Amino acid sequence: MKLPDIVILDEKDKRLHTVSDEVTFPLSKQDREMIHDMLLYLKMSQIEEERAKYDLRAGMGLSAVQLGVLKRIFVVVDEYEEGKFKNYVVINPKIKSFSEELIYVGEGEGCLSVNRETTGIVPRHARMTVEAQDENGKTYEIRVREDISIAFQHEIDHLNGILFTDRIDPKNPFKNADKMREI
Mean pLDDT of 122-144: 98
Taking the model in full, what pTM does it have? Answer: 0.96
**Confidence grade of residue 1 (pLDDT, cut at 50, 70, 90):** confident
Q: Is 36 helix (H, G, I), strand (E, B) or coil?
A: helix
Share of residues in the chain with pLDDT > 70 (%): 100
C-alpha distances in Å from residue 60, one per residue of 5, 86, 144, 174: 18, 11, 14, 23
Find, among 101, 98, 100, 106, the residue nearest to 174 by Cα: 106
pLDDT, one tens digit per residue, over 47-72 is 999 999 999 999 999 999 999 999 99
- Mean pLDDT value of segment 142-162: 98
Per-residue pLDDT tens digits for 163-182: 999 999 999 999 999 999 99
Task: For the chain, state the CA radius of gyration.
Answer: 16
* Structural domains in the chain plus CATH codes: 14-182 (3.90.45.10)
What residues are labeled active site? 155
